[in-house]
Structure 1
Amino acid sequence: MLLVHPGGPFWARKDEAAWSIPKGLVDADEDELTAARRETREELGIEIDGLFQRLGEYKQPGGKIVIAWAVEADPDINVEAITSNTFRMEWPPHSGTVKEFSEVDRAGWFSLPEAGRKIHKGQRAILVDFTRSQAPRA
């Protein structure tokens, strides 16, 4: 499973339960799948093609709803070569200094057990549904 680690100073020293699926907001002029594909492109710097399967909607601890998709991707995607979009924020807090950070500072391929340890707790249900979606049909 491909996960991304959020950039910026808040996540810099966090690893376990800090990773995420690529995600973001749906723009007014796009559908959910178009948004998922755009966010993946923005956060990884690559286009992922294939047959996308909607896994479901997941409410995060902060209240945000994440709609997750699964797609079989090339395992040869070079996670060392990702290029992410950036965001700006005041850092350090209350300093008046605005700095720019990568939205994603790294990506990685993980087995499902590893992903279960790495992924943010609010997204663990995605792994359960993904596992169910991959189970052989009787």
Structure 2
Amino acid sequence: MPKISAGIILYRLNNSDTEVLLVHPGGPFWVKKNMGSWSIPKGEIEPEEDLLEAAIRETKEETGIKSKGKFIALSPLKQKSGKIIHAWALQGNFDPLDLKSNSFEMIWPPKSGKNNVFPEIDKAAWFPLKEAKLRIVPGQIPFITELENLVNRWR
């Protein structure tokens, strides 16, 4: 059975631009990676958990955002790994300086025997849709494209 994740794409209308909030993964593997490494806030669901409730929970755990409002279901995406990601778009605002992420522990540097704690998400930022498509993990680009098409229909 494939792993399943759920998350929320927070978006805002900024003059004539639409911007999305993306998050950058924390930890030593990602510290020097930028383009093609950002993501929507998301995480794996618990067995029998409602997908939208999981998306709300994971977004809060990764960012501190308490998501509420009109959620717009986007088409699920299957990643190269086989993982399926479910996402909802939600119009809202968030100051990236207010980021509050949970953390994880790992031995770092490798073979050092030292446990270090890293934030799951080390930064968040707003990006116009065109730039978001360059920054986001390639397998999540269709979420940005679908949101872009929806917003263009509403305008």
**TM-score in same-fold range (> 0.5):** yes
Residues 92-111 of structure 1 aligned to structure 2 (within 5 Å): 92-111=109-128
Question: Which residue number corresponds to residue 151 of structure 2?
Answer: 134
Question: Which residue number corresponds to residue 47 of structure 1?
Answer: 66
| CA deviation string 1:27-77 (max 9, x = no partner) | 125200000000110111120211111101111222211111101112xx2
- Compute the displacement of 1:117 (Å): 0.9
- Compute the displacement of 1:131 (Å): 1.5
| Count of residue correspondences | 135
- The percentage of counterpart residues that share the same residue type is 45
Cα RMSD between the aligned structures? 1.3
- Compute the displacement of 1:17 (Å): 0.6
CA distance in 2, matches of 1:92, 1:56: 39
Give the structure with the larger strand fraction: 2
| CA deviation string 1:95-131 (max 9, x = no partner) | 2222111000000011001101110111111111112
TM-score norm. by structure 2 comes to: 0.82
Aligned partner of 2:107 among 64, 67, 90: 90
5+ residue gaps, structure 2, are 1-19
